[in-house]
């Protein structure tokens, strides 16, 4: 077999001139991120009622609870005790075991454990 420029390892003359512009690299990374994007799961009426019941029980007992929140790229998990539910803004205030305060939207809630 006679080597040519398409033969693996035989294109040494132009090998060092290959490069990728930072703009192209950023576009490729954005495209890969969009391919891995997840859609938000739709909760039916029974699931919403069950989540509301779990939140009420956690408030009543002041127990630690684990929330799974929607994120387009990965499921986010938050653990803590519920401090406040703001029905006007549809947000929940959580006190984490580390002592941090975390607010999140009730519309991002996917499941409770």
* Residue spans of the chain under pLDDT 50: none
What's residue 13's pLDDT? 61
CB atoms within 10 A of CB 94: 21
Q: What is the pTM of this model?
A: 0.67
* 50 burial type by CB count under 10 A (0-12 exposed, 13-18 middle, 19+ buried): middle
CB atoms within 10 A of CB 62: 10
What's residue 35's pLDDT? 84
What's residue 16's pLDDT? 56
Domain ranges of the chain: 63-112
What's residue 84's pLDDT? 92
- Fold classification of 63-112 (topology level): SH3 type barrels. (2.30.30)
């Amino acid at each position: 077999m006679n080597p040519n420029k398409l033969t693996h390892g035989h294109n040494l003359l132009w090998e060092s001139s290959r490069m990728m512009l930072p703009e192209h690299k950023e576009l490729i990374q954005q495209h890969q991120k969009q391919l891995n994007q997840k859609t938000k799961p739709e909760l039916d009426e029974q699931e919403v009622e069950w989540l509301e019941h779990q939140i009420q029980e956690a408030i009543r007992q002041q127990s630690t609870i684990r929330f799974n929140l929607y994120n387009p790229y990965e499921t986010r998990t938050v653990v803590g005790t519920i401090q406040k539910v703001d029905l006007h803004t549809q947000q929940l205030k959580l006190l984490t075991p580390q002592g941090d305060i975390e607010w999140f939207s009730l519309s991002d809630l996917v499941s409770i454990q």
